[in-house]
Amino acid sequence: MAKEYENRELILPTKNMALAMGPSHPAMHGIVRVNAKLDGEIVVEGSVDIGYLHRGFEKSVENHTWNQGIIYTDRLNYVSAMMNNVGYCLAVEKLLDIELPPRGTFLRVIMSELSRVADHLTCVAAQVMETGAMTAFLYAMKAREYVWEIVEMACGARVTTNWTRVGGLMADVPGDFVDAVRERIPLVRDVIDELDKLVTKNRIFGDRYRDVGVMTKDEAIAWGFTGPCIRASGIPFDVRRDTPYLNYDAFDFEIPVGTNGDVFDRYLVRMFEMEQSILIVEQALAKLPDGPVSVDNKMVTLPEKADVYGSIEGLINQFKLIMDGHGIQVPPGEIYQAVEAANGELGFYIISTGGDTPYKCRCRPPSFALTAALEKMITGQMIADVIPIFGSVNMIGGELDR
Amino acid sequence: MEKRVRELKVDYGPAENIYWVEVLKGLWITNRHFMVNMWRHILHALRIKAEKGAVTFQYPEEHRPIHHRWRGRHRLTVKQNGAMRCTACMMCETICPDECIHIVPGESPDPNVEKFPEEFYVDALRCCFCGLCAEACPLDAIRLDVIEPEICGFTRDIIFNKEFLMGLNNDRPWEEWYIENKTDSKEK
């Protein structure tokens, strides 16, 4: 389409039109602005303005203690907050050189994968809604609600979870957790199947999504893609397999790759990943061991409440872990720990100079590289294709601008 | 486990290219949902017990079942004699990442208790309901278990003082909220 348009004979001289989409535009998730220069309907030059949601995440974490920093990670990718919690805590635990007991590890895997399902559901739903499928959007929201009910059960909040702690979890999951997850998995699966039936083979979406926003393998690597977007471009890169963390080695799952690297492939990869995540959850539930969820280390984990209420040692321990300047003493050093978040590699680079606060906490947000490449992806496309392309990179403002 | 890679490819055959076949399939799914939900709603209207039609809740009249771990509004617990359990140890004020708790410690009128908070404010405008204060409390004095869905529904006056948090001058004492809205997941 674009080629034909370029080669046409000009009868009337035309000028390019500047069009600013956003920062508050219904199709711009969060707040971001796309400045497009249009020649008719073709975007000849596009640029993305970011930074409208900058909250100073890195500085805030540096000004708080190790455990207080976790609440700031909730607000990175707010659809799958638990994965951010896990990533931050893994980084700090690596510095402390402690390893979680098996139950804690399994629970972290279960909740990470459930969060991934919620995140992909949201992304796919928003993407198809913007191209006209309101019903599919509502079905997906229904399924996301099932997942968030489980999240609420585990931590007491739906979005701002604050679930992990350095060296473990907030608390063990309630007794009926496993049954509740098992009960909801078929419901979520049904919705994913329905979404698949409604959208995948429908030519309206096929024509809209195919060969739009193409990123080839080399381009995807050059622009620093990770997550579903690089897999859609045909590179089987997955942090869970390439640099395993938690105990992902113990689970059997497939990594989907696309062929074209267009919007349709990103959609397919996300749909397939949801099924794989549910498979991981089922495997983890089958193997879920009993035991403690937090490490037995009095320098890191808060003591049991019975100890605090009943014994002077427990009380002193509790005070020592909370008082200013005491807290968790992380040895000096620097660490980079990445997790496979829903959008890609979410990394935390933490420098500690000893003491109870980080000296520096840098976050590598997956959305940042994807949004940077948006400029390249939308150039030469129709203005209406900007919306599906933007939907397919799943930009999350909280994570992008931090 | 070794890395297993699956290449995804969806090719459209003649049936998909006709376009109407898939549209009709999609319509079948949406219409089935509509009919099933409609049928259930009719049964409900006729007062016949049936599964819930839609997944939505008619909010002000009907509340979502909330898990007992839900982190809601703060509450200061009291001892059996009605006195505050809090001893103003300042743990919650220290751990609060939003600096929303403000305590003025003082000498307790009870000779058996040394210290108690003369003033205890929770600024719910700053609070992010992370629950760290309840975790840090060595006396189980502060809890976040009052289910109040509309904390700032009709008023912006939500800097809670001690009496309010203890449920003394509240129009609706916390017990009422607790019983009405808190559904243990076992009961579901």
ipTM: 0.80
**CB distance B5–A153 less than 8 Å?**
no
Q: Is A156 close to B132, i.e. CB distance below 8 A?
A: no
Task: Summarize the confidence of residues B68-86 as an average pLDDT.
Answer: 81
Most confident of A39-48, A96-105, B67-76: A96-105
Nearest to B128 among A71, A238, A302 (CB): A71
pLDDT number for residue A91: 92
Select the more confidently predicted residue: A129 or B148.
A129
Nearest residue, CB atoms, A272 vs list B8, B128, B138:
B8
A vs B, Cβ pairs < 8 A, gives: 135
User: Over 60: is that where the pLDDT of A129 sits?
Assistant: yes
Q: In percent, how much of chain A has pLDDT > 90?
A: 25
- Smallest Cβ–Cβ distance between B70 and the set A152, A201, A259 belongs to A152
Give the mean model confidence (pLDDT) for residues A181-201: 90
Interchain proximity A154–B69, CB inside 8 Å: yes
Whether residue B178 has pLDDT greater than 60: no
Minimum Cα–Cα distance from B5: chain A residue:
A255
Residues of B in contact with A142 (CB under 8 A): 55
Q: Span A299-313, mean pLDDT?
A: 87
The residue in chain A having the minimum alpha-carbon distance to the alpha carbon of residue B21 is: A202
Q: How high is the pLDDT of residue A88?
A: 92
Contact B26 A198 (CB under 8 A): yes
Asked if A257 and B8 come within 8 Å (Cβ–Cβ), the reply is yes
Average pLDDT for B17-31? 87
> Hey, is the C-beta of B78 within 8 angstroms of any chain A C-beta?
no
Q: Say if strands A254-257 and B4-7 run parallel, antiparallel, or are unpaired.
A: parallel
- What is the per-residue pLDDT for A6? 61
**Predicted confidence (pLDDT) at residue A108 exceeds the cutoff of 80:** yes
- Comparing A307 with A116, the larger pLDDT belongs to A116
Q: Which residues of B touch A152 (CB under 8 A)?
A: 66-67, 69-70
pLDDT-derived band at B156 (thresholds 50, 70, 90) equals low
| Nearest residue of chain A to residue B185 (CA atoms) | A176
Element (H or E) spanning B115, and its range?
Answer: strand B115-123
Is the pTM higher than 0.95? The answer reads no
Averaged over A184-201, what is the pLDDT?
Answer: 90
pLDDT band at A188 (very low <50, low <70, confident <90, very high): very high
Could B130 and A160 be called an inter-chain contact, meaning their C-beta atoms sit closer than 8 Å? yes
Categorize the per-residue pLDDT at A269 as very low, low, confident or very high, splitting at 50, 70 and 90.
very high
For A190-216, what is the mean pLDDT? 87
For residue A278, is pLDDT > 90?
yes
Residue B188 has pLDDT above 70, yes or no: no
Is the pLDDT assigned to residue B180 strictly greater than 50?
no
Q: What is the pLDDT of residue A9?
A: 67
B22 touches chain A (CB under 8 A): yes
Beta-carbon count within 10 A of A322 CB? 24
Q: Which residues on B lie below 8 Å from A307 (Cβ)?
A: none
User: Which residue in B1, B25, B55 is closest to A249 by CB distance?
Assistant: B1
Q: Which residues of A touch B139 (CB under 8 A)?
A: 309
| A244 to chain B: closest CA residue | B1
Residue A5, pLDDT score: 60
Contact A250 B6 (CB under 8 A): no
Please judge whether B10 and A201 are an interchain contact, meaning their C-beta atoms are less than 8 angstroms apart.
Answer: yes
> Mean pLDDT across the stretch B42-69?
81
The position carrying tokens 């004492």 is: B173
Q: pLDDT-derived band of residue A336, with 50, 70 and 90 as boundaries?
A: very high
Q: What is the per-residue pLDDT for A106?
A: 92
Query: Which chain A residue has the Cα nearest residue B13?
Result: A201
Quote the CA–CA distance of A245 and A82 in Å, as a whole number.
15
CB A64 to CB B4 under 8 A?
Answer: no
Q: How far is B64 from chain A (nearest CA, A)?
A: 11
**For B112-124, how does the pLDDT look when each residue is reduced to its tens digit (9 = 90+)?**
888 888 888 888 8
- Is residue B181 predicted with pLDDT exceeding 50? no
Which pairing describes strands B115-123 and B159-160: parallel, antiparallel, or unpaired? antiparallel
A302 contacts B135? CB cut-off 8 A? yes
Question: Per the CB < 8 Å rule, is B3 touching A236?
Answer: yes
Contact between chains at B131 and A206 (C-beta distance less than 8 A): no
**B168 vs B93, residue with greater confidence:** B93
Asked if the C-beta of B188 comes within 8 angstroms of chain A's C-beta atoms, the answer is no
Which pLDDT score, from 0 to 100, does residue A349 have? 93
B8 CB within 8 Å of a chain A CB: yes
Report the pLDDT value the prediction gives residue A113, as an integer from 0 to 100: 92
Chain A residue numbers with beta carbons less than 8 Å from the beta carbon of B12 are: 201, 203, 206
A241 has a pLDDT exceeding 60: yes
Name the residue in chain B with its Cα closest to that of A163: B130
Q: How confident is the model at residue A208 (pLDDT cuts 50, 70, 90)?
A: confident
The pLDDT confidence band at residue B152, using thresholds 50, 70 and 90, is low
Q: Sign of torsion, CA B58 B61 B62 B64? A: positive
Strands A254-257 and A168-169: unpaired
pLDDT at B31 over 90: yes
- Ramachandran category for residue A7: left, alpha or beta (phi over 0 → left; psi -120 to 50 → alpha): alpha
For the segment A133-140, the average pLDDT, to the nearest whole number, is 88
As a whole number, the mean pLDDT across chain B is 79
pLDDT attached to residue B176: 47
- Statement: residue B187 has pLDDT above 60: no
